[in-house]
Amino acid sequence: MNLTLKIWRQKGPQDKGQMVEYKVTDISEHMSFLEMMDVLNESLVAKDEVPIAFDHDCREGICGMCSLHINGEPHGPDRGITTCQLHMRTFKDGDTIYIEPWRAKAFPVIKDLIVDRMAFERIQQAGGYISVNTSGNTQDANATPISKIDADLSMDAAACIGCGACVASCKNSSAMLFVAAKVSQYALLPQGRVEAADRVRNMVAQMDLEGFGNCTNTGACEVECPKGISLENIARMNREYLKATII
Amino acid sequence: MSGFLSSSIARKVAMALSALFLIIFLIIHLAVNLTSVFSADVFNEASHFMGTNPLIQFAMQPVLIFGVVFHFVMGFVLELKNKSARNVKYANYNGAANASWMSRNMVVSGAVILAFIVLHFIDFWIPEINTKYILGDMSGVLPGEEGYRYFEELQHKFANPARVGAYVIAFILLGLHLAHGFQSAFQSIGFNNKYTKCVKSFGTWYSILIPFGFIFVALYHYFNH
């Protein structure tokens, strides 16, 4: 298939950047979206042009590195997938595809389609962990009984790969689905309850400090999340926050 | 804004609580309005009671006005903050792919409702305040006439097709605002559990029936004055 691509090019953080049009030909419908980008980059290198910078790592939907806002949606038009799992058969021959970086003040562009997602790391560092002494005398995790329901809900929340699609899709650039997933995965387990109040207070404070917008419950994040993180987690975070600040 | 209300979640909760308060107010307002369809006398009595009872006038009314002002001011402040969280816009943003029009345009429906409230205050509230507290006439009766004036004033206002049209449009936008806002308020206060399905369907019915009730009363008086 032959495609027209409109891709955001930006030399560096200070550059203004612009959309640039490219044509790609003979793209196989079996390629993943990132393979199509590889083909484009090979052609650019062959012409002595600077290839397009984009994030990728595992290319099997686990690492959360690939981003790309494709035709107005994070990770493209399909549901429950990352960009590396998006296949070219989703598009039609002759299509024009817009490819942009995640857009949020808290995710500044480093180059072309790569954004700095360290804001998520700083939120994690603010409380997304449990303080365990790893001296060798740690208790066996299975010694603490946990209900199947809570264990499953916690695992569902822990499926978050921190890709940032929630922020990219949200009209308010809110990071609440990400933070809620991290708060929930611990809040649901007895080991996490000990520091639950400090965790939610500190993580929300860091989230606000990073300049993410406020959640208005549009639900776009849940729809676009490649790991199906549910809005129930945001409600849980709201409850945890109220408990930690008022009660 | 400092202290508790400086946090994003606290603002969400404050928006939700003021919204739930206004949702309850709408039911009371509609109940009084509906009496005008069934009986002019009942409507007159209810209006006179609401307009002269000191508890309602000097305790409930200021709380209501605070609730309305707070919801609008906080709503617009949050909208501006949220807009600034994305300093470079997408060239192609397909919002309709993952969220409803209502949820993405709460500020638009909210602005229309605000414009309506200004009109509504000019139509009813300011003349009432003027008559009762500036001219000092608490009787509810027009000079030289018998019986309360409220029903007649209502009919007079709704004889104007432009006003009725504006009211109908505003109520449709109110319905769209509520269609997202009702269930959103519950989500914001952390209420998302096995009853959420009920809350959502109740919210949908509420957002249809309440505006429909207001529209019905306006149209009823337009066609029966």
Q: Which DSSP string do the residues of B20-47 spell out, in sequence order? A: HHHHHHHHHHHHHHHHHHH-HHHHHHHH
CB contact under 8 A, B92 and A100: yes
- Please answer whether residues A165 and A65 qualify as being in contact, where contact means their C-beta atoms are separated by less than 8 angstroms: no
B148 CB contacts (<8 Å, ≥6 apart)? Answer: B44, B45, B47, B48, B140, B141
Pairwise CA distance, residues A178 & A124, whole Å: 10
Pairwise CA distance, residues A49 & A45, whole Å: 5
pLDDT in tens, chain B (225 residues): 456 688 999 999 999 999 999 999 999 999 999 999 999 999 999 999 999 999 999 999 999 999 999 999 999 999 999 999 999 999 999 999 999 999 999 999 999 999 999 999 999 999 999 999 999 989 888 877 888 999 999 999 999 999 999 999 999 999 999 999 999 999 999 999 999 999 999 999 999 999 999 999 999 999 987
Domains parsed from chain A with CATH numbers: 3-111 (3.10.20.30), 118-245 (1.10.1060.10)
Instruction: Please tell me the distance in Å from B76's CA to the nearest CA on chain A.
Output: 12
Q: Which two tokens stand for residue B2?
A: 């400092």
Q: Which two tokens stand for residue A45?
A: 């290198």
* Interface confidence (ipTM) of the complex: 0.92
The C-alpha angle B123, B126, B127, rounded to 5 degrees, equals: 75
pLDDT for A19-64, tens place per residue? 999 999 999 999 999 999 999 999 999 999 999 999 999 999 999 9
The C-alpha angle A106, A107, A111, rounded to 5 degrees, equals: 145
pLDDT at site B225: 75
CB contact under 8 A, A219 and B7: no
pLDDT at site A139: 77
pLDDT at site B75: 96
Indicate the pLDDT class of residue A241, thresholds 50, 70 and 90.
very high
Instruction: Please tell me the distance in Å from B2's CA to the nearest CA on chain A.
Output: 13
Instruction: Please tell me the distance in Å from A123's CA to the nearest CA on chain B.
Output: 14
CB contact under 8 A, B97 and A100: no
Domains parsed from chain B with CATH numbers: 3-84+105-223 (1.20.1300)
B122 vs A134, higher pLDDT = B122
- Determine which of B4, B98, B197, B200 to mutate to test the interface with A (most A C-beta atoms within 10 Å): B98
- Determine which of A6, A67, A238, A243 to mutate to test the interface with B (most B C-beta atoms within 10 Å): A238
pLDDT for A80-127, tens place per residue? 999 999 999 999 999 999 999 999 999 999 999 999 999 999 999 999
pLDDT at site B1: 43
Helices (H) and strands (E) in chain A, counts: 9, 7
